[in-house]
Amino acid sequence: MAEPKQTELMEKIVSLCKRRGFIFQSSEIYGGINGFWDYGPLGSELKRNVKDAWWRDIVHHREDVVGLDATIIMHPTVWKASGHVDTFSDPMSTCRHCKKLIRADQVWEMLPGQAWVQSLAEVCDVATQSFDSQKLIHWAGRKGKNLAPNLALVRNPEVTLSWLAERSADSAKEPVSATEFYQHLATEQMPVTGLITPCPYCGGELTPPRPFNLMFESWAGPVQSDENKVFLRPETAQAIFAQCKNVMDSSRQRPPFGIGQIGKAFRNEITPRNYTFRSREFEQMELEYFIRPDEATRALFGEVATVPDGGHPGDPQPNWGWQAWHRYWVEERVRFYESIGLSRDTLGFHVQQPDELAHYARATVDILFKFPFSKRDEQGELLGEELEGVAARGDFDLTQHEKFSGKPLTVFEDELRSAWALLSPDTVTEMRDDFIETKTRVAIEKKGMSAADAADSARAEAEVFFERLGKGQYLPHVIEPSAGVDRLVLALIANAYAEETVTDDKGKSETRVVLRFHPRIAPVKVGVFPLLKNKPELVAKAMEVRALLQSHVTVFYDDTGAIGRRYRRQDEAGTPFGVTIDFDTLGEKGDELKDTVTLRDRDSMKQERVKISELLGRILPLMQ
C-alpha cells in the first residue's frame, strides 16, 4: 500500500514543478494529452544539463566513444530486423464495464494508488482481512458505489460479505494474499470458479490480455499505403546498430569502442503514469559499446579475464571478456549518477534472473531510483523503479541487421587472423563445443525449440562464426547502458526536494522549500541581487557582476522584493549560489570591503564576503 505521505510528497513535487516552470502538461490549455509533457524555463535548463553531463562523461571524456545523431524515422525494415514489429508489445486488457484500456501486467502495481483502494483500507484491513460488516456495507453503498461501482462487493455486497464472514469465522484459515483478496472482492459468483482481476479504475471485469504493439505508426509521403508505413523509433539504439559500420569506417574506431546517442523515443504506452516516469514521448541516452566476442579475446590474449561482482573493476584491460565489460559499465553508470547528486543509497539494482532475460541477453542489470511512488518491500523500504538498463546483448542486433540488409557488418583484425592460426586444434574444438552447448541450451529454454532443432541451429551458427574468426572477422558484441532522460530529471527533482523549518533574526519560523540540486545540473547556477533596485550605482555594479558570471554560468538577476524573499525564490529553483551587491561593494565602508559581495550558499544558507575577482574561482570548480 502506498504511504499517503509519499503520495503527498509527489503531489508537492508536481505542484512545485508547475509553479516554478519545470514541467507542464503538454497542450494544457486544451485539457492536456495523456503521456506527453513539456519542460518550462527551469526544466529545459535542467534537462539540458543532464544531457550535457552524460555527453561529456560518455563521449567527450573518453577516447573510445564517439557520438551519433540519427533520424527518428528510419527504414521500416530496421524494426522488422530488431524484432520490434513482431514482439514489441505489452499485454492489454479492456474493462468490460468502464471500457478503459489497462496494461494487464500492471494491474497490481496500479491498485494501491487508486482512490477506492485507499478508501476501502479505512474500513477493512487487507493484510489481516479484518473488518466491521456494518461499516463495510455502508462503504459499499456509498463511497464504494462512487469510486468502484463495478466491484462485486458494491454490486452484490451480500455474496462477498458472506465469503468474508465465513473466512473470518474460521480461525484456522490464514488470510489470503492481498492479490487474491482483491480478486474475491471483484468476483460475484461464489463458490468461486475463476477469480476476476478487478479493473483498477472501477473494479469491473477485465477482458483476457492481448498483445498491443507500442510503436507509433505514420506514412512517409502523401500515400497512406502499407508500402509507405513508417514508425517513430521506440528506442535510439537501432540507429546506432544500423550506422555502426559507417561510424567505424569514418572514425577509425575498432572494438572495444562505443557509439553514444541522445534523442527522442516514442512508445504508445497503454497506461502512461507516475507523472513523467512513463510517457509516450521521451528522451533516451544510449551507449552501444562494441567489444570482441570472448573467443576472439582468448585467441588474442590467451585468456578471457573476468572480474569479481561488487565494486568498480578499475581501468579496462585488453583481455576483458563480456562479463568484465558489463560489470564495468554498471559501475561507470553508478559513478555518473553519484557525480550528479544521486548517492548510491538512493539507487537500487535489479539483476535480471535467467527466466526474465530476453533470449539474446546474457545479463541485464537495471539501475533503479527510489521514487516516492516506488513499490516497497515487506519491511516498508522503497524498492525503486528503473532509471537505466545495462544489458549484455551479444551480437544479436548486428546479426539481425546483417541478415535483413544483406550487408556484411563484420570487423576485420589482422592480428586476430594471425593469432587464430596459432591456436591448437584442441582449443578451437573446446571453444566450438562450448559455443554449441550454450546456443543449444538457450534455443531450447528461450525459443522453445526441440533439442534436435536447437542443436542443428547452434551448429549452423557455429559454422559461420568460427569460419569468420579464422579469417580474423567477427560481428562485435554489445554492452548497452540505456538511460531515460525524463526519468532521470524526475529522479533528480525528487531527490533534491526538501522542506525545512527556518527561523529568522526576529524568531519567526517558516518552511523553506529547497531543491538541493548538485551544482553540475542545477538549472541556474547563481542568483545575482542588487540590494536595492532604485539605487543606480548598486544596479550598475550588479549588472557588471552579472556580465562577469554570465559568460561562464547561467545567472538569474532578481531585483524585486526583500532580499530574503529573493533567496527563497532561488532556493525553490535549486540555485546553489546567491550573490548580493550592497553598499559595502561600492566602498561606502572603506576600501577593505570595496568590490566584495555577499556569497550565499543555498544549502547551509551561510553568507560570506568574497572579492568579485574571486567569485569565478569559487564557483566554477563545483560545476565540474
Residues of the shown chain interacting with ligand ATP in the complex, contacts defined by CB under 6 A: 235, 267, 269, 278-279, 282, 284, 386-389, 482-484, 486-487
CB-nearer residue toward ligand ATP: 82 or 585? 82
Residue pair 573/20 in contact by the 8 Å Cβ criterion: yes
- Residue facing ligand ATP at closest CB distance: 484
CB-nearer residue toward ligand ATP: 454 or 485? 485
What is d(CA 197, CA 108) in angstroms, rounded to the nearest whole number?
Answer: 9
250-261 exposure pattern, b = at least 16 Cβ within 10 A, e = fewer: eeebebbbbbbb
CB-nearer residue toward ligand ATP: 235 or 582? 235
CB-nearer residue toward ligand ATP: 45 or 235? 235
CB-nearer residue toward ligand ATP: 359 or 589? 359
- In the bound complex, what is the minimum distance in angstroms from residue 50's beta carbon to ligand ATP? 12
Dihedral of the alpha carbons of 16, 19, 22, 24, in degrees to the nearest 10: 110
What is the C-alpha end-to-end distance of the chain, expressed in Å?
41
Question: Could you tell me what percentage of the chain is helix, strand and coil, using 3-state DSSP and rounding each to the nearest 5?
Answer: 40, 20, 35
CB-nearer residue toward ligand ATP: 273 or 512? 273
Reported as type and span, the H/E element at residue 143 is: helix 143-147
- In the bound complex, what is the minimum distance in angstroms from residue 278's beta carbon to ligand ATP? 4
What is d(CA 502, CA 209) in angstroms, rounded to the nearest whole number?
Answer: 53
- In the bound complex, what is the minimum distance in angstroms from residue 421's beta carbon to ligand ATP? 40
| DSSP β-bridge partners for residue 528 | 557, 579
CB-nearer residue toward ligand ATP: 129 or 352? 352
CB-nearer residue toward ligand ATP: 154 or 488? 488
Output the CA angle 569-573-579, nearest 5 degrees.
65
119: burial class by Cβ within 10 Å (0-12, 13-18, 19+)?
middle
- In the bound complex, what is the minimum distance in angstroms from residue 387's beta carbon to ligand ATP? 6
Q: Is the peptide bond before 191 cis (omega within 30 degrees of 0)?
A: yes
CB-nearer residue toward ligand ATP: 248 or 387? 387
What is d(CA 413, CA 472) in angstroms, rounded to the nearest whole number?
Answer: 5
Per the document, the length of the chain is 624
CB-nearer residue toward ligand ATP: 386 or 453? 386
Residue pair 168/212 in contact by the 8 Å Cβ criterion: no
Residue pair 362/322 in contact by the 8 Å Cβ criterion: yes
- In the bound complex, what is the minimum distance in angstroms from residue 1's beta carbon to ligand ATP? 22
- In the bound complex, what is the minimum distance in angstroms from residue 443's beta carbon to ligand ATP? 24
- In the bound complex, what is the minimum distance in angstroms from residue 145's beta carbon to ligand ATP? 34
Residue matched to cell numbers 579475464: 305
The interaxial angle of helices 485-496 and 4-19, nearest 10 deg, is 110
What is d(CA 388, CA 483) in angstroms, rounded to the nearest whole number?
Answer: 4
The interaxial angle of helices 425-447 and 294-301, nearest 10 deg, is 160
Residue matched to cell numbers 541522445: 262
CB-nearer residue toward ligand ATP: 93 or 585? 93
H-assigned helices in 306-450: 322-339, 396-405, 414-421, 425-447
Residues near 199 by beta carbon (within 8 Å), at least 6 away in sequence = 95, 97, 98, 100, 102, 107, 150, 205, 206
CB-nearer residue toward ligand ATP: 475 or 489? 489
- In the bound complex, what is the minimum distance in angstroms from residue 61's beta carbon to ligand ATP? 22
- In the bound complex, what is the minimum distance in angstroms from residue 211's beta carbon to ligand ATP? 15
- In the bound complex, what is the minimum distance in angstroms from residue 374's beta carbon to ligand ATP? 12
Instruction: Specify the 3-state DSSP secondary structure of 322.
Output: helix
What is d(CA 281, CA 268) in angstroms, rounded to the nearest whole number?
Answer: 8
- In the bound complex, what is the minimum distance in angstroms from residue 274's beta carbon to ligand ATP? 9
- In the bound complex, what is the minimum distance in angstroms from residue 516's beta carbon to ligand ATP? 23
Alpha-carbon dihedral sign for residues 229, 231, 232, 238: negative
